[in-house]
Amino acid sequence: MTLQLFLLLAAALFAVGLYGLLSQQSIVMILMGLELAINGIIVAAAAFWFFAASGRPDGQVLVLVAISAMAIEMAMGFAITTAIFRARDVDMADSASDLAG
């Protein structure tokens, strides 16, 4: 186990999540892509904590922040999905393009 292997895993998770974020139509599937990407950040932060500065707990705090971001993102995403589905019967990102430039 080296730092490079961990970071490669994190990069792969992030890239897979990014693909899902960009390609999926359903809002719920986009949320899953976001979760995968944040999971990559968690792995990377844990690896940095261990290999670079395991004497101090700062890396762990970063992991905790990423986990909280994940929970908040999921809750808010589902609430917004519910709200927009109720208002307009929309569950796809393509139909919610009000802010498209």
Which chain residues interact with another protein by CB under 8 A? 1-9, 11-20, 22-29, 32-33, 35-36, 39, 42-43, 46-47, 49-52, 54-58, 60-61, 63-65, 67-68, 70-72, 74-76, 78-83, 85-86, 91-92, 94
Cα gap 62→35, rounded to integer Å: 16
Cα gap 84→73, rounded to integer Å: 16
Provide, rounded to whole angstroms, the least separation between the CB of residue 85 and another protein.
7
Cα gap 97→101, rounded to integer Å: 9
Provide, rounded to whole angstroms, the least separation between the CB of residue 101 and another protein.
16
Amino acid, res. 12:
A
Provide, rounded to whole angstroms, the least separation between the CB of residue 47 and another protein.
7
Place of tokens 């999926």: 24
Cα gap 64→67, rounded to integer Å: 5
Instruction: Compare residues 94 and 98 and give the one whose CB is closer to another protein.
Output: 94
Instruction: Compare residues 72 and 88 and give the one whose CB is closer to another protein.
Output: 72
